[in-house]
Amino acid sequence: MKAMMRARNRCGFAQVVAILALVNVLLGTIGPMSAGAEAAKPLHIVAFGDSLTSGYGLRSRRQSFPAQLQKALKARGHNVKVTNAGVAGDTTAGGLQRLDWSVPKGTDAVIVELGANDALRGIDPKVTRTNLEKIIATLKKRHIPILLAGMRSPANWGEHYSDNFDAVFPELARANGLIFYPFFLEGVVLNAKLNQKDGMHPTGKGVAEIVKRMLPSVEELIARARSQRASASKS
């Protein structure tokens, strides 16, 4: 009888050891599983701009810059979600006012495309600069990587205005260490085949051309955002 009790005790002890070992294994995998789940989450990019971002005049939202950009990035293997935060007619002042709710918590990166309406209205470039500086400072305080899309002034305001306005974007990008795409409408502006009848807003094909040209800069933004996310998950 005593021999049987000793055998049972040994068996019970062995079971406890096995259970504890299993618990240790499971606890050891919690960290990697969580990190894996975090990595699997789509990277959230907010396209923050005016009518050029929102898709003014296009046949459907699927032709807009954010929608076409998301499709192109996914085709290149990026797990991303690109939100359309474009408002037609918005100036840099309007963008600044709505920044907090247009760029929600959980945003991983932002493409800032504002300034075209400032130039069309002849707003003092100093005002444009100040508004963009505040937008950039707010996003940087939230540790959100930024791609700044440059804009150029129409020639009707004169060379002095154009020089001052056009310089705002590259100077801000350099001063703040931003990823910079020099001119949002590069390859599209003044091309009748890629613009709507108003001559200012791109067609769906025009937007596709913009996306194609901007992809390298956006992929650089994605790399920064992933690095930022990885650093945040470790802290």
- Report which of 180, 202, 198 is spatially closest to residue 64, judged by C-alpha positions: 202
- If one counts every other C-beta atom within 10 angstroms of the C-beta of residue 107, the result is 20
Q: How do residues 96-154 score in pLDDT, each as one tens digit? A: 999 999 999 999 999 999 999 999 999 999 999 999 999 999 999 999 999 999 999 99
User: Quick one: tokens of 153?
Assistant: 């002034």
Judged against a pLDDT cut of 70, whether residue 14 lies above it is answered with no
Judged against a pLDDT cut of 70, whether residue 167 lies above it is answered with yes
DSSP secondary structure of 89-120: T--HHHHHHHHHHHS-TT--EEEEE--HHHHH
Judged against a pLDDT cut of 70, whether residue 46 lies above it is answered with yes
Residue 37's pLDDT is 56
Please tell me which residue, 35 or 83, carries the higher pLDDT value.
Answer: 83
- The strand ranges marked E within the chain are 43-49, 80-86, 109-113, 146-149, 179-181
User: pTM of this prediction?
Assistant: 0.84
Q: How do residues 154-163 score in pLDDT, each as one tens digit? A: 999 999 999 9
Residue 234's pLDDT is 80
Q: How do residues 174-214 score in pLDDT, each as one tens digit? A: 999 999 999 999 999 999 999 999 999 999 999 999 999 99
Residue 231's pLDDT is 85
Residue 64: exposure state from Cβ atoms within 10 A (0-12, 13-18, ≥19): buried
User: Quick one: tokens of 90?
Assistant: 């918005």
Q: How do residues 64-74 score in pLDDT, each as one tens digit? A: 999 999 999 99
Taking a C-beta distance cutoff of 8 angstroms, is the pair 115, 92 a contact?
yes
- Could you tell me the pLDDT band of residue 40, with boundaries at 50, 70 and 90? confident
Active-site annotation, residues? 51, 198, 201
Strand, helix or coil for residue 195: strand
